[in-house]
Structure 1
Amino acid sequence: MGLVAEFQIDCEALPLTDVATAVPEATLLLEIQYNHGDRPPFLVTVHGGSQAVIETALTEAFDVGEWTLIGQAGDTHRYQVQAALSFEQQLGDHLDNLAGLEALATADAIIERIEVVPGGWQQTGWFASRDTFGKFSSFWQQNAGFQLLRLTHDEESEPPGDGLTDRQREALRIAYELGYFDIPRQASLERVAAELGISASSVSERLRRAQTELIEETVAPTWPPLPDEAPSF
C-alpha cells in the first residue's frame, strides 16, 4: 500500500533557499527538469511578493546562472532558472552521503510539489511503500533536518481544502470576518494579528500558506498555461 507524505527538509544548501529568504512573503514552487544533464533547469512559479525584489534575489543568488521570465498573471510569475551549480557542487560540502542522494532519484517515489522556504524545501510526494518512504526520510534525518508534516495512505483522498491546519483555518476565518479580504479592505493585518494574539508577520505567513494550499487543492489543477501578459482590469 502506497503512502502520501508532506514533509520539510531543513537544509540551507538546497537550491533557491536564498531567494525564499529574500522574499519571505512570496510562495516559491519549484519543478526540476531532471533530463537535462547535471545542471537541470528549474521552473519556478512565484505567488505574491514584489516582482522587482524577486528578480533581484534571482540575480544575486549564488546558485542561479541565468533566469528568464516566461509568463505572468496577476501576482503570479513563472521563471525558467538555469542552475549555476550541479547538485554535487551545491550540496557536496553539506551532505556526507552524495551517493545516497543519487539513489533517492531512482526510488519508487514521485515528488509532486516542492515549495522553497527559508532554510529548506517543503515537499509532497507519493511513495510506493512504507519502506521506500523510510529510506527517504532516514537519508534526510541523517544528512540534514527532516520534519514530517502529514502522512496518509494513498487511497485516503482528502476533499479540497482539507490540507489546511486548524491555525490556518482560524486565521482565514478571523481575517474574513474582520473584512481583511474586502475591497476596499476593512481591517489591517495588525488588526487580524491582535485578534489572534500573534505578530503581524506570523499572520501574513499563515494566511499566505493557507491561500496557497487552497489554490493548490482547488484552482491549480485546472489551470491552463499562463498567458504571456496579464489582462488589465
Structure 2
Amino acid sequence: MNVIAEVGITGPDLALAPTIEAVPSAAIQVVPQSGTDAETGMFFFLVETDNEGFDAFDAALADDHTVDEWLLVSESETARIYRICHTSEAKVLAPKTAEVGGLMLEATSEPRGWSVRLQLPDRAALTDIWEYCKDEGITFELRQLYRQDDWTIGGVTGLTDAQKVALTTAYERGYFSEPRETSLEELAAELGISPTAVGGRIRRGTERLVESTLHEE
C-alpha cells in the first residue's frame, strides 16, 4: 500500500521561485507526461497567462538565478510550453522523489512556491523527502496524507488538481448558472491567477470530462 501526499514547498532557491514571485498572475504547471533528467536539470512547464503576462514571464526567466537556459516549445493565445534547464544552485524535488521510489503526480505554482502531489511507497519515503527539504532550506508543509491501494498516474476523469479546483470553484460560485452569478475576473481573484488562466483551466478541464465520460471511441 502506498501513500498520497499533498505538500506545499517554498524557498528562495526553489526552482522558478523568483519567477513565480515576480509574475504572480502566471499559472505554472510541470508537464507530467514529459521526462525529467536529474543530470541536465531539464524540465517542461505549461504556463497560462495573458500576452502582457508572457512578456513579464520571459523577463523574469532572464533574471531568475535558478534558470540556466530556456526555450519556448509551443504557444497559443493563453498558454505556452517552455523547456527550462535549471542551474546547479536550483533546488528541485522531482529527482529526490524518484530516488525514494515515488512519483510526482502534479506540481502547480502558488504565490510563493509550489503545490505538489506525490505518490510514495510508504511513510518512510515521505520522511526522507521531508529531511531532504530541511537540509536544503526548503519549507515543507504537509497538507494532506492518505493511503491508496494501487499505483496510479491520473484519476478516472484525467483532470489535474488545478483543473478540479477551477471547475469546482466555478460551479460553486455559479459560473455555469444562467444567468451567470460570477465572472472569470472574480474567479481569478479568488484563485490567485489571471482570468486567462482560469478560462484555460475550465476549458481544458471540461474537454477532459467530456472525453473521459461521454465520448466513445
Cα 1:209–1:11 change in 2 (3 A) is farther
Query: Are 1:77 and 2:80 matched, yes or no?
Result: yes
Aligned to 1:137: 130
Cα 1:106–1:69 change in 2 (3 A) is same
Paired letter, 2:190: S
Query: Residues 71-100 of structure 1: CA distance to partner in whole angstroms, max 9, x if unpaired?
Result: 1234110011222x21xx345xxxxxxxxx
Cα 1:19–1:172 change in 2 (3 A) is farther
Task: Trace 1:31-46 onto structure 2 (pairs within 5 A).
Answer: 34-35=36-37, 37=39, 39-46=40-47
TM norm structure 1: 0.64
- What's the CA shift for 1:36? 6.0
* Conserved? CA contact 1:16–1:116, under 8 Å: no
Query: Residues 119-167 of structure 1: CA distance to partner in whole angstroms, max 9, x if unpaired?
Result: 22221111011222233234435643222233222238865469556x9
Identity over the aligned pairs, expressed in percent?
A: 16
Structure 2 stretches of 5 or more lacking a match? Answer: 212-217
- The SS at the match of 2:15 is coil
Measure, in 2, the Cα distance between the counterparts of 1:169 and 1:136. 30
* Conserved? CA contact 1:30–1:113, under 8 Å: yes
Query: Are 1:127 and 2:127 matched, yes or no?
Result: no
Query: Are 1:2 and 2:5 matched, yes or no?
Result: no
TM norm structure 2: 0.68
* Conserved? CA contact 2:104–2:118, under 8 Å: yes
Aligned to 1:202: 190
* Conserved? CA contact 2:25–2:194, under 8 Å: no
Query: Are 1:113 and 2:106 matched, yes or no?
Result: yes
Q: Would you say how many aligned residue pairs link Structure 1 and Structure 2?
A: 194
The CA RMSD measured in Å over matched residues stands at 3.9
Larger Rg over CA atoms: 1
Aligned to 2:215: none
